[in-house]
Each structure stands twice: as structure tokens, then as C-alpha cells.
A and B are shown apart, each in its own frame.
Chain A
Amino acid sequence: MASVEAKINSKSSSGVAVPRFNQFGVGNALGAIGIHAILLTYSLIAMFPIVLTVINSFKKQGDIFGQPYTIPLGSMFSLLGYQTVFKRAEALTYLQNSLIVTGGSVIVTLIFGSMAAFAISEYKFRGNALLALYMALGIMLPIRLGTVSIIRLSTALGLTGTLQGLICVYVAQNLPLAIFILSQFLSEVPIDLKDAARIDGASEYRIFGLVIPLIRQAMFSVTVFAMIPIWNDLWFPLIMAPRDETKTITLGIQTFTGQYGTNWPALLAALTLAMLPVIIIYIVFSRQLIKGLMSGAVKG
């Protein structure tokens, strides 16, 4: 009897308008309000430390301690922390270094990665499968474990303490996943298209140039996946380029928090500034980022 009822219910549910929460089972147990209550609570837990830091970065020391939850409006609003941070010229150098390292690494990864992915997915040559496997090994192996040898190598090559050295390491680290993702997308580009160009006498380089714009979406996914971990990395800047001229913002914030241990407005302002670029990028691209992750998960 119950199952017949369920059947009828399910029939009616295929009609559109009425929102129903019990189709996936959990809804039955919790109800719509319960689900929203849980998700809202967890969203608050996720945002609480970030929002707290941002709002308190616009207050003076006394208000940070006295009224940490008040939104700084009117007389409470203060840019003292930010003024302290910007008085120190390094802040801009760090930001510039981070932009150079992250931008450089991502661009080189995209160029070399798409070239290799094109060769692997387009041509049948001896050792093709072996090469694809070799390049994919790095997806699971943490490059950090080779640190001691990376230091020796970059000393030998004169790359220690330079941003170029960091870029080389990050490109090597990100190539495996980039090649893996890009070659999957490249193998889906129709053959007819390439053959038509070949008949017209296009060179293989020209064909590469024709095909790459067709996988913009995948290139974009690779960009986002590579960019965020590079921007956030502490390990390699700390080990390979710790001097003031080459510090990235992530390493800079680590030093800064040590120096400004008691100046809370400056501390919170520095943390907010360091979060800002990533938060802006995330707000703009969160949908594509998460979609990319989800489609990658299904493909893999």
C-alpha cells in the first residue's frame, strides 16, 4: 500500500511547480527548514573568522578588543592599520613578487603544458603511452620531498634566491595535472577539423594554434587550479627566496605577523590585504572553479 502511494507521489512530482524536498531521502528526515538551518550554521562557521578579521581591520586597537563584533561605522571606522602597513614599502614589493611568480608560472605551465598535451593526444609515436604515464606520475608525488636536491640544483644553475627559480619549480609541479587535463580535452576535438586544415596545407604548428582556442574552458580550469596553490605556497619561497627583495606576499605576511605582534590594527589590516586578491578572484570565478573541480572529479 505504502509503495503504491509513493508511486503516485512520484508521478505527481514530475509536474513542475511544487518544490519537494523528499525526493532525495534526506529531505524527509530533516525537512526544508532543518536543511537550511544546518547549512546556514555551517556557512556562518566557515565565514566567521574571515569576516571578523575584515571588520576589525577597520578599527582602532581599543575597539578591536572592546567591541569585536560591531561593524565599524562612523567614528569607529579607522584606517590606522592600513596606514601602518602601507608605510612599509615592502608590502608592494611582496605583492609584485607574488604577481610575477604566480603569473609567470601559470603562463609557462599553460604554454608548455598545452604543447605537450597536444603532442601526446594528437600523434601516434613510439613510447607515447609511456611518456603520458611518465608525465602523469607527478600528479601524486609531492615535489617537496625533493627539496634538498632542488636547492642543490638551483644553486648550481644560479637560480637560488631568484623569482625565476621559484617559477621553474612551480611549472614542474603543475605540468603533470595540466597535461593530464588538457590532453583529455584535446582528444575530444574533432579530427575532421584538423585534417581539413592539413589538406589546406597548414603546418602542425598552425594546427596547434587553431585547436588551442577550442579548449579555452580547460585552459581556464588549469589556470585556476594552478594559481591558488602557487599564490598560497609558503614552503618554496621560505626555502628558495627568503630575502626581502624576493619575498612573496604569503611569506611576507608570515614575517610581518611576527614583527607586529602587538599592533592589532596593522596585523588585521595586513591579513585582510593578503586575503583580498584571492577573495576577489574567488568571488568572480567561484562558479567556474567549483564546476571545474566537479567535472574533473567525474572525469577522473
Chain B
Amino acid sequence: MQRIARKPFPFHIVVFLLPAFVIYTLFMVYPLFDSLRLSFFDQSVQGPPVFVGLQNFQTLLGDPQWSDHFWNALGNNIVFFLIHMLVQNPLALFLATLLTVKKLRGRAIYRTLIFAPTTLSVVIIGFIWSLILSPIWGIFDGLLKSIGLGSLIQPWLGSDRTALIVVSLMSVWQWVGLPMVLFMAALLGIPDELLEAARVDGASPWNVFYHVKLPLLLPTIGIVAVLTFVGNFNAFDLIYATQGLLATPNYHTDILGTFFYRTFYGFQLQPGNPTMGTTIAAMMFVIILGGVLIYMFGWQRRVAKIQG
């Protein structure tokens, strides 16, 4: 046994593995760990970083200069996520249910059109929507007037009350295709016999959906939720492209990604603070990891139990 264990590691396996291992470790794993490590250091003065323990986290959560921004960004990020969960994912499921109706004509065309925005850059999408919503062009306001809702018109992206919701809905519009396709795959995977059997037993369409399809969709609902969570708490581009670095109006659309960027990169006269940046990244890491763990142990296991 001893001898076999000491046999040199086959050379060709090393050749196959090494390039991917090195690049992945160097540019992904190491930066993530190094970033977590740096969150325990301070580099606000010149010279090498100084170890300060949990002080950065105390500052971030305790010093009002920082904590106000942090809680504001976290709160906005939660609203951003909830709007996706309440609008994007139910809408995706609804569209997927319609698109998987048997013998539907034009299925591929509808699917292609609805998925199209997902492939475009968030920067382009954000900009196009801000043009449509702008009172200068007046496209959206004009549409509202034409259906008699002109009284609702307001500076959609400039008002405290609407900016965050409107930006979230732009994101919903762009990304709805992705959960829709995942739901379609799950719905097409449900055996016809099962649905037929339920129908034979006299179940109404709603009952078939609620009692047969929905339980079988639980694993997909979990995957969609966790993908939405990771994507939303990592978002940046859309806010940056439409609302700028100061997340106008007055930080009402600031989320963790934009707060992170402003902190480590600096903005206007404020110089960048890399170590506080890594502290925010560490908090984002904890939040995202928390979401993934809740999914893996809270949802996936329970679903496996129900279906097992």
C-alpha cells in the first residue's frame, strides 16, 4: 500500500489540471480570501496596512458617517430584491405556464422575444429606459396620458418615492426571461400522465396548478430565488448607469454594489479607501453566503424530504 501511495502523481494529469487551477486560484480564490483578510486591516495612512481587528466593522456598523450609508444601501438592496421576488419571479412563472400550454402556436417566437432583453447590456437597457422615462422625450408620460392616467406623471427616476421602484422594475423587465426559461424547463419535465390523472379526477385548472405543478416546481423556485438573491446583492451596473455614483436622488437608489464601489474607488473629492471597501465586500460576502446556505440547508433539504 505504502508503495502505491508514493507513486509519483501522473504527469499528464498535472498538465491537464494546472492551467485552470492556477488561473482560478490566482484570480478568483486568492482575491476573495485576500479581500476578506484586508477587511481586518487599515490603510488610511501611508505605508503598509496595519492590523486593526474588527475595528473596520465597528466603524461600518457604528459610526453614523458610515453606518447611515450602509443601512440605507442594505435597506434599498432588500427592497430591490423583494421587488424581483414579488414581480419578476411570479411573472416569469405565469409566462412559463402559458408558454408550456400544449400545441401553442408561435411558442418559439414568443420565447425568443421575451428573453431578448436578458442578452443586452444593463448599461444600454438602463440608458434606453431613462430616455423613455425622461420628460424631455415624453414617451412614457405620453402613453400614460393617452390612457387617461396623466395625473400620475412625475419625475420617475428623480423622485424620492419612485426612483428605487422604477429602477427595480427596469431590472425586472430585463431579467424576467431567465427565470421564465428555468420554469419552462421544469414545467416541460412534469410527466403528462400526472396532469392527465389529476384532470381525470376532476381537478380544476387552478387545482392542477396548485396541487400538482407547484409542488413539483419547488426545487426550481428555490434555484430561481437563490440566483435572484445572489444577482441582486451583487448588482451595480444598472444603478451606476442610470443614477450615477451618488445613486440619485440623494442616495435613494444606493445599493451595496454602488456603496462598495464609491468606498474603495473614491468619488468627487473623497479619496478611495480600499480597506473599508473590503469591509463592505466582506459584509456582502456574508450576506450572499448566508442566502446560499439558507437555500442549501433550509430549502433544498426540506424539498428533498417532501419529494423523497
Contact = CB atoms under 8 A, between A and B. Distances in A.
Contact of A235 (B17, B19, B102, B237): B237
A102 interface: no
A25 B199 contact: yes
B131 to A, nearest CB: 8
Contacts of B44: none
28 contacts: A6-B202, A7-B200, A10-B199, A20-B102, A21-B103, A25-B195, A25-B199, A26-B98, A42-B95, A43-B113, A53-B131, A112-B19, A113-B20, A120-B17, A138-B24, A138-B29, A140-B292, A146-B281, A147-B281, A148-B278, A153-B26, A238-B240, A278-B119, A290-B111, A294-B181, A294-B182, A294-B188, A297-B185
A35 B128 contact: no
A80 interface: no
A117 B53 CA distance: 40
A277 B201 CA distance: 51
Nearest to B190: A24
Interface in B146-178: 173, 177-178
Contacts of A134: 29
Contact of A24 (B16, B102, B260): B102
A287 B108 contact: yes
A269 interface: no
Interface stretch (B59-67, B74-82, B205-213): B205-213
B283 to A, nearest CB: 10
Given A147-B35, A205-B12, A234-B237, A274 B23 contact: no
Contacts of A38: 98
Contacts of B10: 123, 125
A54 to B, nearest CB: 10
A179 interface: yes
A143 B28 contact: yes
The A contact surface, by secondary structure, is helix
A134 B29 CA distance: 9
A169 B31 CA distance: 10
Nearest to A23: B102
A286 B112 CA distance: 7
Given A134-B29, A282-B119, 5 more contacts: A3-B202, A52-B132, A112-B19, A138-B28, A234-B121
Interface string A131-170: 1001101101111111111111100000000000000110
Of the listed residues B101, B178, B230, the one surrounded by the most CB atoms of chain A closer than 10 A to its CB is: B101
Nearest to A131: B17
B137 interface: yes
A204 B10 CA distance: 11
A45 B116 CA distance: 11
Contacts of B139: 52, 68
B181 A148 contact: no
Contacts of B306: none
Interface in A232-257: 232, 234-235, 238-239, 250, 253-254, 257
A263 interface: no
B72 interface: no
